[in-house]
Amino acid sequence: MNGIGKLYFRYGTMGSAKTALLLTQAYNFEERGMQYLCMKPIIDDREKENVIRSRIGIERRCEWIYRDTDIYEMVKRLYEETLQVKDWILIDEAQFLSRQQVDQLARVVDDFGTHVVCYGLRTDFQSKSFEGSQRLFELADSIDEIKSTCSCGRKTIINARIDSEGNIVTDGNQVEIGGDDKYVALCRRCWRNRRIESAKRNAINFDKD
C-alpha cells in the first residue's frame, strides 16, 4: 500500500485523438516494462471485441466496465489473483463512468498507489456535463485538456450532433445507440451559427409541408 498514485482526467472533444494518446501511452509503458491495464465502459451491447482501437490502426485489449461493475472490487480481485499491483490503469470513454465508479477509481489510486488516467469528453451534444466527467473534474489530482481545432481555427468546445442532412440536433437522449446521427466537434461560435442555420432551414422545410 503506497500513496504515490494519482487520478488524472484528460478531456477533449470528439476527434481530439484521445484514444490515440491512450494507446501511445500504453505502448510507452510496454517499452519501459511497466505493468498496466486498459479499461472501457461498455454502453453498446452489440460490441463484440474487448479492444480499444484508434483510427490510426493500433489497438490494445481492455477490460469492460458495465454499468453495475464495482471497479474497486474488480481491480482488487485481479491484483489478488495475479499477486501483482499494476502501475497504471488507462480508461477510454471515461465520460460514461458513473459517479460511483469514479469514486471507486479514486480508491484504487489511494489504496493501491496505481496511477489511473481517464480519457473522455467534457460534455454531451447539448453542452451538458457527462456524469463521469463531472465527477472526474471534482476528484482528479490532475486535469488537462487535449486541444483540437475547429475548421474556423478556434479551439473546439462542443460535440455537436448532426442528422443525415447536416442539421444540428438539439433534442434527444444523451447517448444514442445505433442511431444514424453523427458528431462534429465545433467551437462555441460555429456551434451557435450552425444552430441558427439549422433552425432557418427547418423553418423553410416546415413552410413547404
Quote the CA–CA distance of 205 and 149 in Å, as a whole number. Answer: 32
| Interface with Zn ion in residues 144-183 (CB under 5 A) | 150, 152, 154
Q: Does 192 bind Zn ion (CB under 5 A)?
A: no
Q: How far is the CB of 189 from Zn ion (least distance, A)?
A: 6
Active site residue 49: no
Number of residues that this document lists for the chain: 209
| Grid cell in block for residue 149 | 481545432
CB of 152 to Zn ion, least distance (A): 3
Closest separation between CB of residue 168 and Zn ion, Å?
13
Q: Which of 37, 94, 184, 190 binds Zn ion (CB under 5 A)?
A: 190
Distance in Å, CB of 184 to Zn ion, minimum: 10
Q: Judged by CB, which is closer to Zn ion: 12, or 41?
A: 12
Taking a C-beta distance cutoff of 8 angstroms, is the pair 150, 188 a contact? no
Stretch that binds Zn ion, among 76-84, 138-146, 166-174, 186-194 (CB under 5 A): 186-194
- Report the residue number, 24 or 148, with the smaller CB distance to Zn ion: 148
Residues catalogued as catalytic:
93
